[in-house]
A and B are shown apart, each in its own frame.
Chain A
Amino acid sequence: MKATVLVRPKAGILDPQGNAVLTGLGHLGFNGVRTAHVGRLVELELDETDPAKARALIAAMCDQLIANPLIESYEIELEGDA
């Protein structure tokens, strides 16, 4: 089963990368962009075929390694499971 994990900086946390992108866009003439945040995308391929079990497994991975809950939130998307 294929899964995608989206890791985002938590709202309200200083995001220097996002700010740099925002400034860069302004320099290029892309005005009218209000905010920009930069996160991370992790693609996983699992042996597990049960969506509920896969979600629980990936959540454990996120809590222990893929994200740091102090500053990041994450979202799990499973292929073929809405």
Chain B
Amino acid sequence: MREARPRIAVITFPGSLDDRDMCWALGSLGAESIPVWHAEEELPDVGAVVLPGGFSYGDYLRCGAIARFSPVMKAVERFAADGGAVLGTCNGFQILCEAGLLPGILRPNRSLRFICRDTTIRVERADTPFTSRCKPGYLLRLPIKHGEGAWFADPELLAEVEANDQVVFRYTDNPNGAIADVAGVCNREGNVMGLMPHPEHAVDPLLGSGDGALILASLVEAAGVRLGVPA
């Protein structure tokens, strides 16, 4: 009999495209990935939730603006309010911002170009469910692939975010014009986080970098703790 593994839900919206890679990456790190269709109104019994990258609803209106009204998002909000770890990558980050679960918004890249290349981000906080395998100051090499990845907050909101230590990752070579070099932010409680780079595309040296495994393995561990299943 196979031992129980930490279960993590990976949401598929119409237009998601990194959901399978995310399932595979989490699986390779010891989790049992459970694909969840956006029309579901309840989440299965999981220890963490991931909103993957893609172009949900064709990015119409604003990226993530329509996906936030998917039925499953109510369940994701309840899960987050209950302290569950919720990770959004790329389009998932955009959805979490539009849903108000994370501060700020993602705007078109300063260059107006779609950027697809590796970037380096610095870990600012290691006391989150997404960075427990890191230390502050760690430099992670992760790919980005987005046209609208410039995180924005007005001066008041930025001051609040900085005062609460909500910036989890910063670019060392800001590729997209993000305010304060922000690559990833969390909510005030620290259990919801979004980042533009793709950890799921960097979990094995064969893929060019294994650094994303530090983020996803942290999440697998957090999911295991919540479920009482050792990772």
Contacts and interface: CB of A to CB of B under 8 A. Distances in A.
B225 interface: no
Contacts of A68: 62, 65, 98, 105
A70 B151 CA distance: 12
Main DSSP-derived SS at the B contact region? loop
Nearest to A23: B112
Nearest to B68: A65
Interface residues of A, number: 11
Contacts of A17: 108, 112
Contacts of A16: 107-112, 177
B47 interface: no
Given A14-B177, A65-B65, A70 B152 contact: yes
A68 B110 CA distance: 19
B177 to A, nearest CB: 7
B144 to A, nearest CB: 17
B154 A70 contact: yes
Given A13-B152, A14-B177, A71-B152, A66 B108 contact: no
B166 to A, nearest CB: 15
B161 interface: no
A60 B110 CA distance: 30
Interface string B62-99: 10011001000000000000000000000000000010
B65 A70 contact: no
A46 interface: no
B52 interface: no
Given A16-B108, A17-B112, A65 B61 contact: yes
A1 interface: no
24 contacts: A13-B152, A14-B107, A14-B110, A14-B150, A14-B152, A14-B177, A16-B109, A16-B110, A16-B111, A16-B112, A17-B108, A17-B112, A65-B66, A66-B61, A68-B62, A68-B65, A68-B98, A68-B105, A70-B105, A70-B152, A70-B153, A70-B154, A71-B105, A71-B152
Interface of A: 13-14, 16-17, 19-20, 65-66, 68, 70-71
